[in-house]
Structure 1
Amino acid sequence: MEERKWENLNSDCLVNVFGRLDLETRLLDIVLVCKKWKEVLLNPLCWQIIDFPDDISQSRLAVASDARGSPNISGLINFVVGRSQGCCSKLVLPNGTTIADLIYVSDACPNIKTLVLPYDDVELAYHGEAIVKLIAKWKSLEVLDCGFCCCIDQIVDKIGLHCKNFVSLSFQITQIDPVISSAIVSKLANIKSLVLKKAFIGKEEIMILLLGCKELELLYIQNCFFLGLKEFDEEMLHLASRIKDFQLEGSTFMNFTFPQFDEEEMLFRLEEEEMLFRLEEEE
């Protein structure tokens, strides 16, 4: 039986397979197999899903460096996103992404359905107002993970206005007040998935979400800070029980009511509570 050669494999099948591989393999390994595989990677359909590792410097993609030896993250984003030629439907951005990169993405990926912003990028977080303006360009957006981002209420408002098929929202380290929770209920009536991480939230805000999000199928509350609550009481648990996938993990119940502090103080409170928790464990 004659052995099949790599270059004789069907191109359409290769496009399907290559599009499922991780980014490092597509960029650094596939191109070395044979000339045909390298040519197949030029097909924009191979780049419908672009998932950057969180920390480029700890990945093999760090070979793309600037003059100082640091990973050229903007150059890498432009290069990879450019290969999709507007076909990218899912994009996971790395730490170090700038607002300029996001503006480029908003033009280069008009049909994006899933967008994940970096979780540990404080600089990008404070450009919430700029992100709000970009939402209007992503009319096909269905899933948004904001990471640590300000202006959540304004982002929700724009999503409700421009993204008619939107179903899933995630964010972290955010002060969830009645304005934000009410905006989610009123602007995202068909939302099916909501993920809150390291957020500050009180009972009023939880009740607004549980009572108002009628279509919710998934609710994850992870490592959040419940203000003025001793426990997730029976009333809240009863309302949450109708949600198919409800998870309450690692959250802390705090003895003060909802304060109006800015993000810097919020981060300080977060670190303070984690330190107290570690001290209690040591005792």
Structure 2
Amino acid sequence: MEDQRMWEDLNTDCLVNIFGRVGMESLLLDVPFVCKSWYKASLIPSCWQCIIFPDFSADQTFDFSRQGVEPNTICERFVSEFRIDKSHFSSTAFMKCVINHSRGKATSITLPAYCTQEAVEFVAHECPDLVFLDISRYLLFSPSRKLISDLICKWENLVELWLSWSYNLEKILSQISVHCKSFCSLRVSYASIHKDEALTITTLVPNIKYLNLRSADFDRDSLVSILRGCKSLVLLDVRDCVGFNEADEEILKLSSHISKFMCEGSKEELFIIP
């Protein structure tokens, strides 16, 4: 009978390739405890290139008081596994711990809905190679939204950004236009796109290739302005929007050069059935 190869005997490069896909919780709390080779591989920064943070509570507190109950969130498991003093645990310290694993090699980060200014600044300083940044959850709830526009200059390699709402859009895109020369993809959830927002997009990122404004509140003329001003678009997602009709002939004609134009479900007005 031929010898069977064991998982722990896999080449380190193979392990890193796999571990980079399993997610933060497994990489922190499962993989390192399987065997020595897996533990060593989990410490390699390449495993931590893509970091998606879980959501934390608004007041940054955690319920560790449930006696006899198995920890069921990543934070509870983290505290339990590493025997951390519960009174000293914080989301900021947790985020710093995760970021430190990447040793500056993280290229993709999704921020949680609630995190401190200190944590966001730490991400900016310790992750200079970011290519993708998702701050859509963070912008929905953070009291320090203006901070992001001040930190964009730290991410010169940024290619894709996910936002929520249109708050501070001009300041964010103005910084991107100056500092992020490879930027080509923008997603704005729950956006309100009117004259000013359309002008901001066409003026500051006219060569954008991928633009996702799904479920936006649109001014029809603003969509026309974007179609006329952003000639490099290869994808434009304006599905389920309010402010224009998906069958609008002028819009369909103006978008005919876009490889992937999606407008299904968009209506001129939102009808609410009582």
Structure 2 length-normalised TM:
0.82
Matched, 1:119 2:137: yes
**Residue 183 of structure 1: aligned partner:** 200
Q: Please point out which of 116, 133, 139 is paired with 2:150.
A: 133
Say if 1:53 and 1:59, in contact at 8 Å, map to a contact too.
no
**Residue 211 of structure 1: aligned partner:** 228
Task: Count residues in correspondence.
Answer: 255
Q: Please point out which of 202, 217, 229 is paired with 1:200.
A: 217
Q: 2: CA distance between counterparts of 1:14 and 1:190?
A: 39
Partner of 2:30, secondary structure, is: helix
- Amino acid aligned to 1:75: A
CA RMSD of aligned residues (A): 2.7
Partner of 1:171, secondary structure, is: strand
- Amino acid aligned to 1:141: L
Distance 1:17 1:211, change over 3 A: same
**Residue 61 of structure 1: aligned partner:** 74
- Amino acid aligned to 1:105: V
The offset of 1:186, in angstroms, is 2.0
Q: How does 1:1-283 map to 2 (within 5 A)?
A: 1-53=2-54, 60-63=73-76, 64=78, 67=86, 72-119=90-137, 122-124=140-142, 126-148=143-165, 150-226=167-243, 229=244, 232-254=247-269, 277=272, 279-280=273-274
Distance 1:68 1:223, change over 3 A: farther
Distance 1:230 1:188, change over 3 A: closer
Q: Percent identity of the aligned residues?
A: 33
Q: 1: CA distance between counterparts of 2:103 and 2:181?
A: 24
Q: 2: CA distance between counterparts of 1:133 and 1:19?
A: 30
Say if 1:119 and 1:148, in contact at 8 Å, map to a contact too.
no
Q: 1: CA distance between counterparts of 2:264 and 2:33?
A: 44
Say if 1:110 and 1:137, in contact at 8 Å, map to a contact too.
yes
- 189-198 vs 36-45, which deviates more? 189-198
The offset of 1:205, in angstroms, is 0.8
The offset of 1:13, in angstroms, is 1.6
1:219-277: CA deviations, max 9, x gaps? Answer: 11244321xx56652101111222111112444423xxxxxxxxxxxxxxxxxx6xx62
Partner of 1:253, secondary structure, is: coil
Distance 1:138 1:59, change over 3 A: farther
Partner of 2:137, secondary structure, is: coil
Q: 2: CA distance between counterparts of 1:222 and 1:82?
A: 39
Say if 2:111 and 2:137, in contact at 8 Å, map to a contact too.
no
The offset of 1:116, in angstroms, is 0.5
The offset of 1:21, in angstroms, is 1.9
Query: Which structure carries more strand by proportion?
Result: 1
Q: 1: CA distance between counterparts of 2:251 and 2:136?
A: 31
Distance 1:121 1:162, change over 3 A: closer
Say if 1:142 and 1:163, in contact at 8 Å, map to a contact too.
yes
1:178-220: CA deviations, max 9, x gaps? Answer: 2221221122132110111443221221011001111101111
1:81-111: CA deviations, max 9, x gaps? Answer: 1110100001112222333322111001011
The offset of 1:173, in angstroms, is 2.8
Structure 1 length-normalised TM:
0.80
The offset of 1:127, in angstroms, is 3.0
Q: 2: CA distance between counterparts of 1:75 and 1:220?
A: 37
Query: Which structure carries more helix by proportion?
Result: 1
The offset of 1:30, in angstroms, is 1.0
